[in-house]
Amino acid sequence: MAAAVRSDVETLATQIAEGSIRALGRGLTWVESGGPRAEALSARMYPHTGRAQIVGVTGAPGSGKSTLARALAVVARARGRTVGIVAVDPSSPFSGGAILGDRIRMSDLALDPGVFIRSMATRGALGGLCRAAADAVDLMDAAGRDLVLVETVGVGQDEVDVMRLAHTVLVISVPGLGDDVQALKAGVLEIADVHVVNKADREGADRTVAELRAMLTLLPTAEAAWMPPVLSASAARDEGIEAIADALDGHIAYLKTSGELERRRRRIVTARVLKIAQDLVAETVLENQSLGAEGTAGASLLERVARRELAPHACARQLLTQTGRTMSGAGLGPGEGDAKGDAR
């Protein structure tokens, strides 16, 4: 990396660690754009992470995730805590960027220097988050934010990636969506540490709360395990928010005293590293294919699969072998991580 780039990274990292809001915004733009500069900044800031409480907020579209995140931020500020919000929005079909609907709902927090809101586009990523979400959380953590709320995109019932990022997962349900137990599907019930039935002023809210509590009793749990509370709220009216904030604090206290926090952190780190490794391998395979003509080894392997001369599994293994050689030749083999660590 050029000396000028290293200097830029060091300067920006120092400013972020000192709490500069402008530097934090610039750093988030770097990590969302990706590339060597973003990776260098993330590596530089990583030793300063591990202090923030990270809460994932997920639920179906229209369940009030943004409104609840805003209300939780207000309560946290009243309790003297600084807040960072990573709001993952659907990508715009025109610009490819975030639609920024979350910022519209949280506009009244914009003047509070103790709250930093960043909307990020999914850019095709599945699971409710975007690829840069973890790096964005790290920057907010390193910048000294006490509480980081991560709001998923709200695309359906398969948003379980948030459990691989957050210490506490808050799942929002609402009555009147045609199925009063939406959260029971596709594993979303199991990932929740706190359940919230939002828009509790609607008809059927009590029944939704009762059904969730009944279903939770059917899940196998250890005797000393955390039992997710089911709380009702109306975020738009700021009703029930204090109880939710207390439940989030209670959960992080349980994680610390039980030793589960360290186990959860190891699980988060493992999932994150494996995902980065998968992305690096996939990018290298695609680069090899895009650079190759008909006569290249990778292209000929794919042609053999198309002609039914080679099985897909065997082709994939051979491509991985070739990718390993390519990455090693490019200096991405063992030892590079140590060099980066020395640079930090």
Residue 211: per-residue pLDDT: 86
Residue 110: per-residue pLDDT: 78
**Domain termination site, one of 241, 258, 275:** 258
Residue 135: per-residue pLDDT: 93
Q: Is it the case that residue 265 has pLDDT exceeding 60?
A: yes
Q: Is it the case that residue 340 has pLDDT exceeding 70?
A: no
Where helices occur in 34-105 by DSSP H, the ranges are 36-45, 65-78, 101-105
Does one domain contain both 165 and 299?
no
Domain count, the chain: 3
pLDDT band at 176 (very low <50, low <70, confident <90, very high): confident
Q: Is it the case that residue 115 has pLDDT exceeding 50?
A: yes
Q: Is it the case that residue 187 has pLDDT exceeding 80?
A: no
Does one domain contain both 9 and 20?
yes
Domain range enclosing 36: 1-48
Residue 74: per-residue pLDDT: 96
Judged by average pLDDT, the poorest of 4-13, 57-66, 97-106, 126-135 is: 97-106
pTM above 0.85, yes or no: no
Q: In angstroms, rounded to a whole number, what is the distance separating the alpha carbons of residues 84 and 136?
A: 10
Does one domain contain both 75 and 131?
yes
Residue 153: per-residue pLDDT: 75
The arithmetic mean of pLDDT across residues 70-83, rounded, is 97
Strand 53-59 with 83-89, pairing: unpaired
Judged by average pLDDT, the poorest of 75-84, 264-273, 316-325, 328-337 is: 328-337
N- to C-terminal Cα distance for the chain? 13
Judged by average pLDDT, the poorest of 120-134, 264-278, 316-330 is: 120-134
Tokens of 309: 């001369």
Does one domain contain both 158 and 293?
no
The arithmetic mean of pLDDT across residues 47-51, rounded, is 95
To the nearest 10°, report the CA torsion of 247, 160, 182, 122. 110
To the nearest 10°, report the CA torsion of 117, 120, 125, 129. 0
The arithmetic mean of pLDDT across residues 99-103, rounded, is 54
Judged by average pLDDT, the poorest of 86-90, 142-146, 302-306, 310-314 is: 86-90
pLDDT band at 330 (very low <50, low <70, confident <90, very high): low
pLDDT band at 194 (very low <50, low <70, confident <90, very high): very high
The per-residue pLDDT for range 200-235, each reduced to its tens digit, is 999 989 998 998 888 888 877 766 789 999 999 999
Q: In angstroms, rounded to a whole number, what is the distance separating the alpha carbons of residues 327 and 308?
A: 29
Does one domain contain both 84 and 215?
yes
- Strand boundaries in 30-140, DSSP class E: 53-59, 83-89, 115-121
Does one domain contain both 286 and 147?
no
Q: How many CB atoms lie within 10 A of CB 109?
A: 19
The arithmetic mean of pLDDT across residues 156-179, rounded, is 76
The arithmetic mean of pLDDT across residues 70-94, rounded, is 85
The arithmetic mean of pLDDT across residues 278-294, rounded, is 68
Residue 111: per-residue pLDDT: 83
- Rounded to 5°, angle at Cα 84 from 189 and 46: 95
Q: In angstroms, rounded to a whole number, what is the distance separating the alpha carbons of residues 168 and 225?
A: 14
Check residues 111 and 198 and name the one with the higher pLDDT: 198
The arithmetic mean of pLDDT across residues 20-43, rounded, is 93
Q: Name the residue type at position 24.
A: L
Does one domain contain both 138 and 284?
no
Does one domain contain both 295 and 235?
no
- Strand boundaries in the chain, DSSP class E: 53-59, 83-89, 115-121, 147-151, 168-173, 194-197, 230-232
Task: Say whether 51 sits in a helix, a strand or coil.
Answer: coil
Residue 46: per-residue pLDDT: 95
Does one domain contain both 314 and 243?
no
Percent of the chain with pLDDT over 70: 77
Does one domain contain both 276 and 193?
no
Q: In angstroms, rounded to a whole number, what is the distance separating the alpha carbons of residues 127 and 81?
A: 29
Does one domain contain both 213 and 281?
no
Backbone phi and psi for residue 133, each to the nearest 5 degrees, phi listed first: -60, -45
CATH number of residue 219's parent domain: 3.40.50.300
Judged by average pLDDT, the poorest of 154-168, 179-193, 209-223 is: 179-193
Q: How many CA atoms lie within 13 A of 77 on its CB side?
A: 17
Residue 123: per-residue pLDDT: 53
Closest CA to 87 of 137, 150, 132, 170: 150
The arithmetic mean of pLDDT across residues 108-134, rounded, is 74
